[in-house]
Structure 1
């Protein structure tokens, strides 16, 4: 189903927009910025949008701290992202430092390091480079791009080399 580009977007009253935006927030965690953009697309002015956002926050449908926690957990477990990448992405979404810290607390050290070692093992098995130094640099570059810290990467690489 495609949207007709010639058709103008429908403007909603605050009363019509509230149930729509509540369903939008209930479907998955959202940031305040995302909700503001959606309300703008509904044709609401800043005052009405602000009132709706306050109401959604009071009713716990919109919670940026909860969003940061879910985002950090999800991106780490499914995409294998490290702390640095997750922090950067959350910051780009306009979340407060408090929310960033809250999201980072979701990444438990043991699980985090195990995920790093798992990714390293998978990448090591696929890596075709035979020269030891070039191979190590490629593995480091991959894990750095994923957002892992250099000291943890070095530690995991040391463990990998010890086990060979």
Structure 2
């Protein structure tokens, strides 16, 4: 019995541009995501860069818009802290200047409110009896969500957490 391998997708530059426009219109993409997709479609390096240039010119691809959308989504929906958001953007090869600009778009009051709400929710869920172990688990969890150590300790101290 023969196992069928998926046939590699080979596109010409014009078709790839149309597909890439559609793909970028669906949701914001980073340049690196588009570059990877174009290579998956077996375009040559010079064609990949030409398509990316065209997408930028026609505003289908905008790295700053992507950074803001990514930051907003990860903060508002996933409740991530700035450290984790920054790492995610770095993995997508977004320039540091744009990462900083996008992170500065998060209001500090909103940021602290999300940190507090996340800490309270997790504190209630923890069943640990020993207060020191409970605090350690809570701090570790909040660090994993990408919040900064100094803010974690300030919020926990100000709100008498863990309870």
User: TM-score normalised by the shorter chain: which range applies?
Assistant: over 0.9
Give the Cα separation in 1 of the matches to 2:159 and 2:115.
11
Matched position secondary structure for 1:161? coil
Matches for 1:5-154 after TM superposition, within 5 Å: 6-154=5-153
Query: 1:117-164, CA deviations, whole angstroms, 9 ceiling, x for partnerless residues?
Result: 000010011110121211111111110111111111111111221896
- Stretch deviating more after TM superposition (7-16 or 28-37): 7-16
- Stretch deviating more after TM superposition (113-122 or 5-14): 5-14
Show the counterpart of 1:159.
158
Give the Cα separation in 2 of the matches to 1:42 and 1:119.
41
Matched position secondary structure for 1:18? helix
Give the Cα separation in 2 of the matches to 1:92 and 1:6.
30
TM-score by length of 2: 0.92
Conservation of the 8 A alpha-carbon contact between 2:11 and 2:43: yes
RMSD between aligned residues: 1.7
Query: 1:77-115, CA deviations, whole angstroms, 9 ceiling, x for partnerless residues?
Result: 111110111111111211111121122122110100000
Give the Cα separation in 2 of the matches to 1:162 and 1:6.
55
- Stretch deviating more after TM superposition (122-131 or 112-121): 122-131
Q: Which runs of 5+ in 1 are unaligned?
A: none
> Number of paired residues?
161
Give the Cα separation in 2 of the matches to 1:28 and 1:13.
23
Shift of 1:11: 1.3
Conservation of the 8 A alpha-carbon contact between 2:135 and 2:162: no
TM-score by length of 1: 0.92
Give the Cα separation in 2 of the matches to 1:111 and 1:132.
28
